[in-house]
A and B are shown apart, each in its own frame.
Chain A
Amino acid sequence: MNDILTIAMPKGRIFEEAAALLRKAGYKLPPEFDDSRKLIIDVPEENLRFILSKPMDVATYVEHGVADIGIAGKDVLLEEERDVYELLDLKISGCYLAVAGLPDTKMNDVAPRVATKYPNVAEAYFREQGEQVEIIKLNGSIELAPLIGLSDRIVDIVSTGRTMRENGLVEYERIVDVTSRLIVNPVSYRMRDTQIDELVSRLHEVVSVGEL
């Protein structure tokens, strides 16, 4: 039986904030942790193993149990709908999902199109509004779509709004607020409860400091 706990971490924006949070919770992470290009980082002194993945894939690793725990944005959880426990709002990497487009435009009546990296979220949102729209899945630079006439609207993540402003887009509706969450595989949650409970309570303490 191995008692190393595996944590899936998102590469990029969220990583640094998540690593800082773990340090604040008293986990001793090596300095090279932050700029390593390795995909798997072992921290034997804490009995932890980190795997670095694309943010969108974190929940997938956790659902399949190859990672016991993960740190994933709420946007990913909404989009992927993986069968994992969402245990803690880490309150980092705050941003939101929004509908945006060129100023003073309306959705095309004949062929309303929405470009997004989040096809499930976008579809559900517009369905809720009683609208049938064509969802166009893109993998990045979503802002491009309205500029070159691929779609009237985009559904994308907004953190500062700068990219949108610089490309002359405006926000039409705010869909949902997003922060990073601590997620846990259902089997690990039950079979390794003591280890996981400890990690959760240590992180919970750090996170809830700002609350009071």
Chain B
Amino acid sequence: MSQLFMFEKPLGMRDTLPELYEKKDRVRLSMAETFKLWGYQFIETPTLEYYETVGAASAINDAQLFKLLDKEGHTLVLRPEMTTPIARVAASKLLQDDLPVRLAYSANVFRAQQREGGRPAEFEQIGVEYLNEDTISCDGEVIALLISSLKKAGLEQFQISIGHAGFAQELFVQILGTNGRATALRKFLYEKNYVGYREHVQSLNLSSIDKQRLLKLLQLRGGEEIMSSAADIIENGEGKKAISELEELWNIVKDYGVEDHVKFDFSIVSHMSYYSGILFEVYAGKVGFPIGNGGRYSLIEKFGKKASATGFAVRLDMLLEALGGSQSETDCHCIFFSQERRSEAFQLAKEMREQGQKSILQDISGVNNLDAFTKKFAKTTFLIGGRNNE
């Protein structure tokens, strides 16, 4: 083991300094405010969970979990995402009376990074889960809320790409017959390897019509007009259901008036078999990675309760990156005082604070470099010496 440097932090762990904290807090609050206005209630769950339950149910790669042992020798994990813990709480407590439940969270999650270790291994996710309802209205609400909250946070240029987990799966099974043979193709899609996908399709012993259907899947992205192309390559059953769900979703999104931010993409397949229906990713102009994602899942079943749910999570650090570096303006007022006028200064600060004006009380004898310190504030007042000399 190499020796640790004095200021070193565990790999991927970062400090949030006041300026960044304030920015983050503003974004978090504006998102949270929107969630609350839509009637979502915030909850908290423990940072540590059991590996055997939440760890195993989570869609996050085992290698990315931080594991540790408790006193009894049980393996614990630092929660790698919030959906699974919420599914656990929901199954055990919140779904007793079988009604729809709207929950929100903002919490730090932990994922060990395999590549470029300096990437954040702890980051904040803010999101919602809409539990125990399987109407498309519910998927639509979650997407509309996502758009509304991102706008409220100040993001202008972003796009939500919506797909359906059932479509590709059904197409593969219809053409290839078995789930096992579908897995190979799904893997290519998941790995974004379209070259490999095409080669694999060409190597299969299929009619050229079926091959064309499989290849066509890669082109199914765009506006609502692609629905009819999608309908052309799928036969009846689950696949058609996927299309009609997306069509209904499109109408819902239009009724919310947020269709400008929405596109469709049938080739989106997320973590192997995690999502069960409509799923989506959020992209922002300036960031090279998706800033958030979500969709419908049946995860709660792993905790013994039959219930469908949908939700999304946005990565706060990515969202901040997308929002760009607007200089945070300081709106704090600094009152310098000396002993003689201390009580007057305290009175002034009290008045300011009551009016909601941030103010600092600074004993002038405690500051060495007055010029440098003064620059940090929007306004200053000097209450020093025997007389009034502002």
A residues with a Cβ closer than 8 A to B are 1, 63-66, 81, 83-89, 181, 185-188, 190-191, 193
Contacts and interface: CB of A to CB of B under 8 A. Distances in A.
Contacts of A191: 159, 283, 285
A1 B193 contact: no
Contacts of A193: 221-222, 263
Interface stretch (B27-35, B68-76, B177-185, B287-295): B287-295
Question: For the complex, would chain B's binding face be called helix, strand, loop or mixed by DSSP majority?
Answer: mixed
Interface string B253-286: 0000000000101000000000000000101110
Given A1-B157, A193-B222, A187 B288 contact: yes
B136 to A, nearest CB: 22
A86 B285 contact: no
Question: Considering residues B192, B263, B289, which has the most beta carbons from chain A within 10 angstroms of its beta carbon?
Answer: B192
Given A87-B194, A187-B283, 17 more contacts: A64-B288, A65-B287, A65-B289, A81-B115, A86-B193, A88-B195, A89-B199, A186-B283, A186-B290, A187-B288, A187-B289, A187-B290, A190-B161, A190-B221, A191-B159, A191-B283, A191-B285
Nearest to A62: B288
Nearest to B281: A190
A188 to B, nearest CB: 8
B385 interface: no
28 contacts: A1-B285, A64-B288, A81-B115, A83-B192, A84-B192, A86-B193, A86-B195, A86-B196, A87-B195, A88-B194, A88-B195, A89-B199, A186-B192, A186-B283, A186-B289, A186-B290, A187-B283, A187-B284, A187-B287, A187-B288, A187-B289, A188-B288, A190-B161, A190-B221, A190-B265, A191-B285, A193-B221, A193-B222
Nearest 4 CB-CB pairs, A to B?
A65-B288, A187-B283, A85-B192, A64-B288
B240 to A, nearest CB: 25
Size band of the B side of the interface? Answer: 20 to 34
A185 B288 contact: yes
Interface of B: 115, 157, 159, 161, 192-196, 199, 221-222, 263, 265, 281, 283-285, 287-290
Question: For the complex, would chain A's binding face be called helix, strand, loop or mixed by DSSP majority?
Answer: mixed
Contacts of A190: 159, 161, 221, 263, 265, 281, 283
Nearest to B284: A187
A83 B196 CA distance: 15
B172 to A, nearest CB: 19
Contacts of B115: 81
Question: Considering residues B115, B263, B287, which has the most beta carbons from chain A within 10 angstroms of its beta carbon?
Answer: B115
A97 B199 CA distance: 19
